[in-house]
């Protein structure tokens, strides 16, 4: 599984691929210099049940820690992962 972050202006996404196939994406929007808002998560049905969504979020958490920014999870999936994993709440806005 390959995880990357793609940015395009004030928007971006965490992207997971495997063997050239898109496994999932988690979209975000920058809300100023120190905060991003996760607004959508989509996982390819072929990869369902493999924890792709959580991998996408953890890649954004890693970036948030490195850049010392906060995350506001408006996406219901991302919000639920934060609720179930208090060890990542240091990045929560």
Query: Residue 47 — pLDDT band, cuts 50, 70, 90?
Result: very high
Which residues, in sequence order, are CB contacts of 30 under 8 Å at separation 6+? 10, 11, 12, 36, 37
- Three-state SS for 25-60 is EEEEEECCCCEEEEEEEEECHHHCCCCHHHHHHHHH
pLDDT for the residue numbered 34: 94
Taken in order of first residue, the domains within the chain and their CATH numbers are 2-91 (3.40.630.30)
Report which of residues 47 and 32 the model is more confident about.
47
Tokens (6 digits) for 88:
């990542």
pLDDT in tens, 4-44: 999 999 999 999 999 999 999 999 999 988 999 999 999 99
């Amino acid at each position: 599984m390959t995880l990357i972050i793609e940015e395009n202006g004030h928007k971006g996404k965490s992207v997971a691929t495997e063997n050239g196939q898109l496994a999932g994406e988690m979209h975000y929007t920058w809300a100023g210099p120190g905060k991003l808002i996760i607004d959508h998560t989509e996982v390819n049905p072929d990869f369902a049940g493999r924890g792709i969504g959580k991998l996408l979020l953890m890649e954004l958490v890693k970036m948030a820690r490195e850049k010392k920014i906060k995350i506001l999870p408006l996406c219901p999936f991302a919000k639920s992962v934060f609720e179930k994993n208090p060890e990542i709440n240091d990045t929560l806005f």
